[in-house]
């Protein structure tokens, strides 16, 4: 009986280590599957961060200063209600790279809004001297946000010359 209990204890210890190894492997696979990096021919978009500054959004009290920071950052300097209204909307930050930094790159942001989801609107920013790592920001705020509604789908692409290097699409983009 004593030998049986010792064997059972050893099996349980092995099963625990096997389960721990399996958990680490699954975590590694899941984190790789959640990557937002898009790589194309000559460039990559590593991340697109999105923030929606909603009008009348109730702030939940929290001790974590990072949570409350984004809203305060976007509203900084807006003293009147009209100034705060002009800052309501969608904010996008795109982190990207290109292989050939000697040529200018156009970062194209295409989006659809709630009130007319069939119309595709385009905003472009020309980066004349791209660096090794780049960051570009887009804002859909103020009157365009209030007149046409919230952004429901978006697409970011890097264009160099006539060639599209890479694109990143939101889930609802067709």
Residue keyed to tokens 């890479």: 166
Same domain? For 28 and 81 the reply is no
- What is residue 159's predicted lDDT score, i.e. its pLDDT? 95
Tell me: pLDDT of 172 over 70: yes
Same domain? For 15 and 82 the reply is no
Nearest to 58 by CA among 71, 48, 69, 73: 71
Residue 174 belongs to a domain: no
Q: How many domains does the chain have?
A: 2
Same domain? For 81 and 159 the reply is yes
Determine the Cα–Cα distance for residues 51 and 40; give it in Å rounded to an integer: 25
pLDDT in tens, 26-67: 333 333 334 468 887 889 999 999 888 787 777 777 777 777
Residue keyed to tokens 């209204």: 85
Write out the residue range of the structural domain in which residue 106 sits.
38-169
- What is residue 52's predicted lDDT score, i.e. its pLDDT? 84
Same domain? For 6 and 78 the reply is no
pLDDT in tens, 91-150: 999 999 999 999 999 999 999 999 988 899 999 999 999 998 999 999 999 899 989 999
Same domain? For 28 and 63 the reply is no
Same domain? For 64 and 13 the reply is no
Taking a C-beta distance cutoff of 8 angstroms, is the pair 26, 35 a contact?
A: no
Nearest to 89 by CA among 147, 166, 156, 24: 147
Same domain? For 64 and 28 the reply is no
Give this prediction's pTM.
Answer: 0.72
Same domain? For 30 and 42 the reply is no
Same domain? For 95 and 160 the reply is yes
Reduced to 3 states, what is the DSSP secondary structure of residue 94?
strand
């Amino acid at each position: 009986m004593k030998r049986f209990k010792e064997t059972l204890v050893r099996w349980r210890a092995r099963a625990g280590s096997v389960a721990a190894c399996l958990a680490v492997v699954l975590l590694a696979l899941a984190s790789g599957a959640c990557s937002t990096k898009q790589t194309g021919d000559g460039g990559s978009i590593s991340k697109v961060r999105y923030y929606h500054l909603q009008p009348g959004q109730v702030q939940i009290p929290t001790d974590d200063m990072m949570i409350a920071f984004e809203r305060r950052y976007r509203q900084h300097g807006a003293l009147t209600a009209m100034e705060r209204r002009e800052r309501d909307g969608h904010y996008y930050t795109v982190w990207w790279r290109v292989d050939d930094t000697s040529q200018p790159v156009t970062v194209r942001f295409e989006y659809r809004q709630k009130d007319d989801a069939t119309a595709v609107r385009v905003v472009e920013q020309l980066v004349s001297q791209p660096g090794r790592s780049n960051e570009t920001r887009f804002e859909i705020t103020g009157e365009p946000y209030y007149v046409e509604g919230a952004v429901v789908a978006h697409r970011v692409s890097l264009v160099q010359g006539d060639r599209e290097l890479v694109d990143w699409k939101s889930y609802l983009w067709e």
